[in-house]
Structure 1
Amino acid sequence: MTRSRSTAARLAAGLALLITWLAGCGHGPSVPGPQDGPASPAAAGPRLQDPPELVSHDGVLKTGIVVERRKVRVGDRRLWATTYNGMYMPPTLRVRPGDTIDLTMTNKVDEDTNLHVHGLHVSPRSPSDDIFIAIKYGSSYHYTYRLPRDITPGTYWYHSHADMMSAAQVAGGESGVIVVDGLRQYLPPSLRGITEHVIALKDFQVEGDAVKTHPLSIGAPTNRTVNGQQNSVIGIRPGETQLWRLANIGANIYYKLHLPGHRFHVIAQDGYPVRRVWAADSLVIAAGARYDVLVRGGSPGTTRLETLAYDTGKAGNQFPRADLATLVTGGTPVRPAALPSAFAPNEDLSRATIAARKTVVFTENAAGTVFYVNGRTYDPKRNDFTSVLGTVEEWTVRNDSDEEHSFHVHTNQFQLMSTDGKPHPPSHRWFDTVNVPARGKVVLRIPFRDFTGRTVLHCHILNHEDMGMMAVLDIVRPSGRSRDETRGK
């Protein structure tokens, strides 16, 4: 995409930005953040700040999260937001396979809340990933998540899953990133020490001096942020390869990420390493989805990390193009390391014995105010689907509406078999969140392993979930009795 600056001017500005960035001289001047709308010339912004990290030690991550209303820096403004530990972009939880997360959540806001660890293969029962609990104002809840030793490495996230309030609470700020370490073991030795960045995509609307939470219109103009910052600067050297953890951790909107002059080399998606690395000029990241990608620095200069215009259908939303950050390439060039092609072992369920077949149908009323799964709105007291531990099922998820929906199921990841009848490439087939085309369908296979209990499946456009598009899945033992099978118990 062309810019109004000349090449020389862009190069000079880019190198100046990079020198400031490398020198660690602090943040640049505050500038108006990128709103959804026409492209604007590159401008100096703050250096990209990765979120602070809470890291496990000796197999345990012991921490706490306090939910409270605070006036904090959100993008280029100070606004009232619903924060985790006083931050709009809260700490990244960094763990390893086999670890235990020992987490106490304390609620200091005057409405019920709770916590969901999105994508993690952990028990759906208390005190683990039980999304049916409600933490009252002034109360605390002690969560314990035991990660299997064979949990797949990659990027996950955590957020509120409070009944009928998840959209408002996530939009208000209640979301952060989880990293399960282990991806680097699949990289060639020359890349195992590469720089890594969290690229957490959150957006906010404004009402007065606060982040707007309700009523929340998906299609309203919004402010896009990376790690809670607007127009931040990411530095990279010519030839250098970096690992970027792309995570859509907002409430409702989609991104179509593009970095002119560069390609995204995908090494994991939804917390599952790919069998073969694949490259794309742009990536559609539906609500709730994640990609771990390698990005290589090109010639010295600047370019924009942007989200391209994206249309979710005639009953959906038209998200305009917006700038997200500036990539500045400069400094001492490095010899480009060879990028991997084959990557990680990858299970294939194409020949698995199918124990049952299920159909999940997404629909909505004409006004777009009520959303259904198989003709019914969500009722937490009702079991809509039952699956048996130790089996593999094939599900057809059909979207009978005129807008796209982001399908997510808790507890177990799934293998995507096809979309609208087209087989999915075997090189990258495992997901926990997948976009379902308008008037389309996806076929997937789910292995039910390790854990029993009641959990949910839903559209991860959280406005849709809160308006009914969620159903209860009960995973039971072969005897029919639901009993926790958490490893190590």
Structure 2
Amino acid sequence: MTRRSRSLVRLGLVTVLAVAGCGGAGPWHHAARDISATTGTTSPAPTPTPASTSMPTGAETAFAEPRQYVSKNGLLKVRLVVGARTVRLAGQPVRALTYNGDYMPPTLRLRPGDRLDLTMVNDLPERTNLHTHGWHVSPMDSSDNIYLYIRPGQSYHYTYRLPADLAPGTYWYHSHAHPRSEPQVFAGLSGAIVIDGLERHLPSGLRHITQHLIALKDFQVRDGAIPTSGIDSNAPTTRTVNGLVNPAIPIRPGETQLWRLANIGADIAYNVHLEGGRFHVIAQDANPVDTVWSADTLLMPPGSRFDVLVQGPAAGRSRLSTLAYTTGPDGDSYPRATLATVVSSGPATPRAALPVKFARFRDLRHDRPAQRRTIVFSENNPQKKFYIDGKLFDHQRIDVRARLNTTEEWTVRNTANEEHTFHIHVNDFQLMSVNGRPYAAHGLQDTVQLPVRGQVVIRMRFRDFLGKYPYHCHILNHEDNGMMANVEVVR
């Protein structure tokens, strides 16, 4: 079945199921606002670590991180050129969509309170735009405004002012060019963002440990290129870490490292397992937790992230894998696959005592909801249509009006025979219950998996920013085919 008929990847409840031991190259919708002028000038930020897009075949390849653009004195100025390029993936030349020529593009690295000035140049023959996934910033004007498009051959200058209290952790950026989000992201248009500051919550002895970005993307090849139409999320696909096939991640026996796990692909889920080890979660979806929790397997639907501490096993090799996973009777089935090989070698170091208590978060259980709403995700699989409250997406329609500085409680129901991935922009939420069972959240999140024919209850507080922004299924085939709606925050 094609992804459209199989309804694309849905992963089990981000934290809920993180338990221990869709395609088409159809015409653009022209109702959204186009950008026709280039404003401002930018220059590339420093790039201390060259990206590697050449991946020789074989059991292992060297681990490498994307190059980084790093803020300085509170400012990061970046120029991103969007274009089609031939890159090397799994040792073969593949035509892909790239930012600055890379399938795994530069990581943007900033601190809370910084400003990002980003000029995007569109060298594609179709429109595109940019979404800074998870950022608590304005959804209007030249900030995280997914309703504007950059036409072919044109440029646009984005300006983001990060709040001083923006949560540290791992975010990502990607195309949100409805209805072409899926093909553009699947072909390569996604990269990582790191907001520094998690270290201040760690014990002093762990504040300078090695950090690794482990960004998960998958690709398929058809006629020498990653397909941008007729994408089948249930077909065999090559999983990569930072664009690399089975890289070898070095660690010393007993050493503590901070890994930034991020699913930055278009559609599929990862059921991430560390052989012989455990993930000690310190942040979810770039929200530091109040209490560190651990698991040997983390279920990661599209868009989700976990910042985790890991400790080196005894000398030898072990696998970082994604385990077999099925998203429901009408969904996809993914086989087990090796993501990377963990190579433990060198002098052993005593295992550090890991923190138990970590950060603070505002527990919304104590808020009195100003509104209680029911949101329904449904689908017509034969017609390849996906709905929220029985409606296909219309960028002009306001589906929910919420008042600034109020808390709302939403019951999000899924009537389909496959999982869907709920995501909302700007304001993260607290998971309250799953299928009627109370959920003890350790922090906020911005993605959650909706169980097959089940429901979750979430609470969110609409803070700081007025304006319109979407909530949608983060299986991008579903989003492109209607499963998106708009909330407007008003005074």
Kindly indicate whether the alpha-carbon contact (under 8 Å) linking 2:287 and 2:443 is maintained by their aligned counterparts in 1. Answer: no
Map Cα deviations across residues 77-96 of structure 1 (whole Å, 9 max, x no partner): 22111000000000111111
What residue in structure 2 maps to residue 292 of structure 1? 307
Q: Distance in 1 between matches of 2:143 and 2:416?
A: 34
**Bigger RCO of structures 1 and 2 (CA < 8 A, at least 6 apart):** 2
Map Cα deviations across residues 94-114 of structure 1 (whole Å, 9 max, x no partner): 111111111010100000000
Report deviation, 1:213.
1.9
Matched, 1:256 2:271: yes
What residue in structure 2 maps to residue 277 of structure 1? 292
Question: Among 395, 398, 421, which residue is 1:406 paired with?
Answer: 421
Matched, 1:387 2:402: yes
Kindly indicate whether the alpha-carbon contact (under 8 Å) linking 2:97 and 2:189 is maintained by their aligned counterparts in 1. Answer: yes
Which one-letter code corresponds to 1:120 in the other structure? W
Matched, 1:440 2:454: yes
Matched, 1:361 2:386: no
Kindly indicate whether the alpha-carbon contact (under 8 Å) linking 1:76 and 1:230 is maintained by their aligned counterparts in 2. Answer: no
Matched, 1:90 2:105: yes
What residue in structure 1 maps to residue 147 of structure 2? 132
What residue in structure 2 maps to residue 20 of structure 1? none
Map Cα deviations across residues 448-489 of structure 1 (whole Å, 9 max, x no partner): 011011100000000000010000111111xxxxxxxxxxxx
Matched, 1:467 2:481: yes
Map Cα deviations across residues 434-453 of structure 1 (whole Å, 9 max, x no partner): 11111111101110011011
Which one-letter code corresponds to 1:429 in the other structure? G
Map Cα deviations across residues 237-265 of structure 1 (whole Å, 9 max, x no partner): 00101100000000000000001100000
Which one-letter code corresponds to 1:304 in the other structure? R
Q: Distance in 1 between matches of 2:459 and 2:255?
A: 38
Q: Distance in 1 between matches of 2:445 and 2:138?
A: 18
Matched, 1:456 2:470: yes
Matched, 1:326 2:336: no
Taking structure 2 as the reference length, the TM-score comes to 0.88
Which one-letter code corresponds to 2:417 in the other structure? D
Tell me the secondary structure at the aligned position of residue 463 of structure 1. helix
The equivalences for 1:229-240 within 5 A come to: 229-240=244-255
Matched, 1:476 2:476: no
What residue in structure 1 maps to residue 317 of structure 2? 302
What residue in structure 1 maps to residue 57 of structure 2? 32
Q: Distance in 1 between matches of 2:457 and 2:75?
A: 37
Tell me the secondary structure at the aligned position of residue 366 of structure 2. coil
Q: Distance in 2 between matches of 1:30 and 1:420?
A: 43
Report deviation, 1:368.
6.1
What residue in structure 1 maps to residue 185 of structure 2? 170
Kindly indicate whether the alpha-carbon contact (under 8 Å) linking 2:241 and 2:340 is maintained by their aligned counterparts in 1. Answer: yes
Map Cα deviations across residues 59-79 of structure 1 (whole Å, 9 max, x no partner): 111111100010012233221
Q: Distance in 2 between matches of 1:366 and 1:228?
A: 32
Gaps of 5+ in 2: 1-51
Map Cα deviations across residues 256-304 of structure 1 (whole Å, 9 max, x no partner): 0001100000000001000000000100001110000011001100011
What residue in structure 1 maps to residue 121 of structure 2? 106
What residue in structure 1 maps to residue 49 of structure 2? none
Kindly indicate whether the alpha-carbon contact (under 8 Å) linking 2:393 and 2:485 is maintained by their aligned counterparts in 1. Answer: yes
Q: Distance in 1 between matches of 2:336 and 2:173?
A: 27
Question: Among 365, 371, 374, which residue is 1:350 paired with?
Answer: 365
Q: How many residues align?
A: 440
Map Cα deviations across residues 339-377 of structure 1 (whole Å, 9 max, x no partner): 111000121010102111111100001426100000000
User: Residues 223 and 368 from structure 1, CA distance in 2 versus in 1: closer, same or farther, beyond 3 angstroms?
Assistant: farther
Q: Distance in 1 between matches of 2:61 and 2:208?
A: 25
Kindly indicate whether the alpha-carbon contact (under 8 Å) linking 1:159 and 1:174 is maintained by their aligned counterparts in 2. Answer: yes
Kindly indicate whether the alpha-carbon contact (under 8 Å) linking 2:55 and 2:244 is maintained by their aligned counterparts in 1. Answer: no
Which one-letter code corresponds to 2:430 in the other structure? Q
Kindly indicate whether the alpha-carbon contact (under 8 Å) linking 2:190 and 2:264 is maintained by their aligned counterparts in 1. Answer: yes
Map Cα deviations across residues 172-231 of structure 1 (whole Å, 9 max, x no partner): 100000111110001111111100000000000111111122111111111100000001
Tell me the secondary structure at the aligned position of residue 225 of structure 1. strand
Q: Distance in 2 between matches of 1:337 and 1:160?
A: 40
Report deviation, 1:30.
6.0
User: Residues 139 and 30 from structure 1, CA distance in 2 versus in 1: closer, same or farther, beyond 3 angstroms?
Assistant: closer
Kindly indicate whether the alpha-carbon contact (under 8 Å) linking 2:411 and 2:458 is maintained by their aligned counterparts in 1. Answer: yes
Q: Distance in 1 between matches of 2:145 and 2:453?
A: 32
Higher Cα Rg, which structure: 1
User: Residues 368 and 311 from structure 1, CA distance in 2 versus in 1: closer, same or farther, beyond 3 angstroms?
Assistant: farther
Kindly indicate whether the alpha-carbon contact (under 8 Å) linking 1:76 and 1:229 is maintained by their aligned counterparts in 2. Answer: no
Q: Distance in 1 between matches of 2:158 and 2:307?
A: 27
Q: Distance in 2 between matches of 1:30 and 1:109?
A: 25
Question: Among 168, 174, 177, which residue is 1:159 paired with?
Answer: 174
Report deviation, 1:31.
4.8
Matched, 1:378 2:388: no
Q: Distance in 2 between matches of 1:434 and 1:55?
A: 30
Q: Distance in 1 between matches of 2:226 and 2:356?
A: 43
Kindly indicate whether the alpha-carbon contact (under 8 Å) linking 2:55 and 2:88 is maintained by their aligned counterparts in 1. Answer: no
Which one-letter code corresponds to 1:61 in the other structure? L
What residue in structure 2 maps to residue 24 of structure 1? none
Q: Distance in 2 between matches of 1:342 and 1:429?
A: 12
Which one-letter code corresponds to 1:400 in the other structure? T
Q: Distance in 2 between matches of 1:341 and 1:203?
A: 34
What residue in structure 2 maps to residue 420 of structure 1? 435
What residue in structure 2 maps to residue 6 of structure 1? none
Q: Distance in 1 between matches of 2:130 and 2:405?
A: 27
